[in-house]
Amino acid sequence: MAEIKFEEALKKLEKIVEDLEKGDLSLDEALKKYQEGIELSRSCAQKLESAKKKIELLGKNKKGEFELKPLDEEKLEE
Amino acid sequence: MSSMSEHASDLFAQAESSKNAKRIYTVSQITQDIKLVLENTFGEIWVEGEVSNFSASAAGHLYFSLKDDLAILAGVMFARASKDVKFKIENGLKIVCCGRIAVYGPRSQYQIIIERLEPKGIGSLQLALEQLKQRLEKEGLFAQEHKKPIPYLPARIGVVTSLQGAAVKDILKVLDRRFRDVEIIIIPVKVQGEGAKEEIAQAIKDFNGFNHGLALADRIEVLIVGRGGGSIEDLWAFNEEVVARAIYASKIPVISAVGHERDWTIADLVADVRAATPSVAAELVIPKKEDLQEAVYDVGVRLRRAFLDNTGRFAEAIDDALHRLGLGTQHLCALSAGRLDTLVKKLALLNPIAQIQQYQLKIMDMARQASVRIDHFLAMKDSQFTKAVERLAGLSPLNILSRGYSITFRMSAEEIVRDATQVSIGEKIKTRLHQGYLISQVTEVDRDGGD
């Protein structure tokens, strides 16, 4: 839960809302979903405040496999 | 035809007679002379005309004629020269060619050997672009129905551009300004010059290949392919067919972002979305923080409403159930009460206590009746007794005394005198009267006396 990305959390949240809006859940499920939804919406709000940017380079290693390397932004400043 | 050749031979005859030397050429000689005259006279020339009879050899040599309303000039462009031609030569095309006139003896032919050519009117790049555009359009590469939607809020964005260019900086600036929880993955490529088109196309393929090995949630959801501004030649790689085809084949939606607003490349036409600049491309996929805050808020509102709707439904159901349960209970109670009553009654009938009580009641009743009878009996006896007592009392001597009778006792023996012989003369006797006593002395005894 801690590592969920914002958009993933928001998508999940939207799915939960859709499920609830369909309205064919048992009371138990509805409660569970609601609780989960509240947690997700909190985590979304938090993510908006505390997101870190992540920039990587995609290349291939000697074996020809894909490899992600972090990009040093300083290098871009020439 | 014959008159014309006669006319020509007349001219030659005049020329020869005037120079007074009659020279007879061999075919080769005259051809050689013509070749020298033509090739030396014209050197490098520019000729404009319309292409006809176009054909290309497997080796890349191009054969065609240039013509106008009155004449036709054969031409050839060898492969070493034709490889630099950006656009496609086709019949009817008006071109300007640069080349030299050459004579081909074996066929009695002269022709122009073309080194360079340009379309007439517009630049060759422009023409090439137009031609490629038409061809790709015919193939359906720009078709609207092939365009994929750009995802809202992609978690991972792939970028195909040069690390040295302005595009990457612009994109990262947008990221800083907007929402940062987006992963940017860059494949650095040359965006101009030799090899640029191949690198760009390969990078698009690589992103798709990279995605192939990833879980759905980790996939790159959108590509930005582009570069900053430059001359039309600088942007040319984005007009290349290989790039267009790579964009078309991409499973990942592609946003093109080449140069400035005014620059339209083929990449822009094939891309799922064309952004005027790299910054605009980034803005298309990196949302504003405020927008997201609003979205989170909205979804939160929806969540609460949906939940309340759900629970409201349950509350209704519960109400309903309770209501029905209530009715049911009442009904059940009523039913039970009725049954209970019957049962109790039945039970009561069976209960020995009740029987005992009944007997008790009977006994009590009997006892009561008995007591009444006894009382009655007693009362009766009592009155009988009283009467008896009264009668008895009537029988008492004392009561007889009141009627004038008296009782006489012997003084000595306390014995009632019933026979005169009991007493002797001179003896004292005591007489009990109704009131008081008399003490007397017997003076006479008459045994036979009576009333």
* pLDDT, tens digit (0-9, with 9 covering 90-100), for B248-262: 999 999 999 998 878
Contact of A70 with chain B, judged by CB distance below 8 Å, is answered with no
User: From the list A10, A34, A56, which residue is nearest B307 (CB)?
Assistant: A34
Q: Which residues of B touch A13 (CB under 8 A)?
A: 296, 299, 303
List Cα–Cα distances, B174 to B154, B279, B285, in angstroms.
15, 7, 10
Q: Of B402 and B177, which is predicted with more confidence?
A: B177
| Paired sense of beta strands B222-227 and B156-161, if any | parallel
In this prediction, residues B165-183 reach a mean pLDDT of 86
Q: Kindly report the pTM of this predicted structure.
A: 0.56
What is the model's pLDDT at position B355? Answer: 57
Least confident of B106-110, B177-181, B425-429: B177-181
Domain boundary among B271, B286, B301: B286
Structural domain that includes position B161:
155-286
Mutation target for B interface from A39, A52, A54: give the one with most B CBs within 10 A: A54
| B37 Cα distance to chain centroid | 85
What is the model's pLDDT at position B232? Answer: 82
List Cα–Cα distances, B129 to B90, B107, B161, B224, in angstroms.
15, 38, 22, 22
- Are B161 and B189 within one domain? yes
Q: Which residues of B touch A6 (CB under 8 A)?
A: 153, 155, 179, 181, 292
Complex confidence, ipTM: 0.77
Confidence class of residue B6 from pLDDT cuts 50, 70 and 90? low
Residue owning tokens 């992609």:
B154
Chain B residues within 8 Å of chain A (Cβ atoms): 153-155, 158, 163-164, 168-169, 172, 175-176, 179-188, 206-207, 209-210, 213, 217, 289, 292-293, 295-296, 299-300, 302-303, 306-307, 309-311, 313-314
Contact criterion met (CB below 8 Å) for B189 and B204: no
Nearest to B227 by CA among B286, B156, B154, B279: B279
In this prediction, residues B199-206 reach a mean pLDDT of 96
Residue B7 in this model has a pLDDT that exceeds 70: no
Interchain proximity A75–B163, CB inside 8 Å: yes
What is the model's pLDDT at position A65? Answer: 87
Least confident of B13-27, B149-163, B340-354, B409-423: B340-354
- Are B345 and B402 within one domain? no
Interchain proximity B179–A14, CB inside 8 Å: no
- Are B406 and B379 within one domain? no
Please give the tally of structural domains in chain B: 4
What is the model's pLDDT at position B366? Answer: 64
Least confident of B26-40, B271-285, B395-409, B428-442: B395-409
Percent of chain B with pLDDT over 70: 75
Cβ within 8 Å of residue B290, ≥6 positions away = none
Mutation target for A interface from B307, B311, B316, B318: give the one with most A CBs within 10 A: B307
Confidence class of residue B431 from pLDDT cuts 50, 70 and 90? confident
Q: Of B393 and B188, which is predicted with more confidence?
A: B188
Residue B410 has a CB neighbour count (10 Å cut-off) of: 17
| CATH code of the domain containing B95 | 2.40.50.140
Q: Which residues of A touch B300 (CB under 8 A)?
A: 37-38, 41
User: From the list B187, B289, B311, which residue is nearest A58 (CB)?
Assistant: B187
Q: Of B289 and B441, which is predicted with more confidence?
A: B441
Contact criterion met (CB below 8 Å) for B250 and B208: yes
Q: Which residues of B touch A11 (CB under 8 A)?
A: 153
| CATH code of the domain containing B178 | 3.40.50.2300
| Paired sense of beta strands B44-56 and B62-67, if any | antiparallel
Confidence class of residue B9 from pLDDT cuts 50, 70 and 90? low
- Report d(CA B417, CA B424) in Å as an integer: 11
Confidence class of residue A2 from pLDDT cuts 50, 70 and 90? very low
What is the model's pLDDT at position B391? Answer: 59
In this prediction, residues B195-205 reach a mean pLDDT of 96
- Are B297 and B271 within one domain? no
In this prediction, residues A32-52 reach a mean pLDDT of 82
Q: Is A76 exposed, middle or buried (0-12, 13-18, 19+ CB in 10 A)?
A: middle
- Are B110 and B6 within one domain? yes
- Are B22 and B119 within one domain? yes
Secondary structure in 3-state letters for chain A:
CCCCCHHHHHHHHHHHHHHHHHCCCCHHHHHHHHHHHHHHHHHHHHHHHHCCCEEEEEEECCCCCEEEEECCHHHHHC
Contact of A8 with chain B, judged by CB distance below 8 Å, is answered with yes
What number of C-beta contacts closer than 8 Å exist between A and B? Answer: 123
